[in-house]
Amino acid sequence: MENQIKYGRVQSRELNLRIKNLEEEGSQLNKRYKLIKEQQEKDTYNQVTDKINNLNQKLVKVQPQLQEIEQEYETLSELIQILNSPELEQKFYKNIIQPVNEYLQIFLEKLNSPYAVRMNENFEAVINERMEIDSETLSGGEDKKINIAIALSYLCLTLDKSRSNILFLDEIFESLDVGNVDTLLSTLKEISQDYQVNIIIVHHNHLNMKHFDRHLEAVREGIFSNLNDKQL
C-alpha cells in the first residue's frame, strides 16, 4: 500500500511538471502570437502610411496644374457670360458677320456663282438658290468658288482692320475651270491694288501671266532646285 502511495506521488509530480511545462509553452506561444499580430498590424499601418505619403506627393505635383485648370475654367466661364450678352452679339454681328456677308455677295458676283450665300451667327455658310440647299450637293467647282469667296471676305475684313503687305496662297485653283481661274486672278489683282498688298500664289500649272508682275519658277538642278526670277 505504501509503495502505491509513493508511486502515486511520483506520478502526480510528473503530471504537475508536465502541466507546468505545457503552461510555459502556451505562454511562449501566446507571446509569439501577440508579437506576430503586432508586427502584422505595424506592417499594415506602414503600408497605408506609405500609400498616403505617395498620394500626397502626387497631389503636390498635380496641385499647380489643378490651379491652372481652375483659373482657365473661371476665365472661360466669364468669357462665355460676356459672349452671351445681347449687346456683344449685336456688336459682333455689326462689326464682323455683316461686313463679311457684304463682301461675300461682291465676290460671289465677281466669280459668277449662281448661289446666294450668307454667314449666320455661328459662322456657318447658308447657301440658297431658289431654296436653301445642302453644301454637299454642290459640284466641286461651285463649292470651291463659294469657299474662295468666303476666304476673300474674311481677308478683306481683316485688311480693313489691320493692314498687311503680303499674302501667300497655295494651290487655290483646284477644281476651277480656266475661265473661273482667270476671273479669280482678276479679283485677286483688284484686292492687291486696293489694299496695297503683295499676293504670292504658288501653283504647279500654267497661269495667265497678264495678272502678275513677277514670275518665280522652281527649276530642278540635280539634288536642289533653283528659282528663276522673271520680270513680266
The pLDDT tens digits of the residues spanning 148-168 come to 888 888 888 888 887 778 888
Domains of the chain plus CATH, in order, are 86-231 (3.40.50.300)
d(CA 69, CA 74): 9
| Buried/exposed code over 133-146 (b: 16+ C-beta within 10 A; e: otherwise) | eeeeebeeebbbbb
Pick the closest to residue 100 from 49, 160, 145 (CA basis).
160
d(CA 78, CA 91): 18
The pLDDT tens digits of the residues spanning 183-202 come to 888 888 888 888 888 888 88
Q: Grade residue 117 by pLDDT with cuts at 50, 70 and 90.
A: confident
Predicted TM-score of the model (pTM)? 0.53
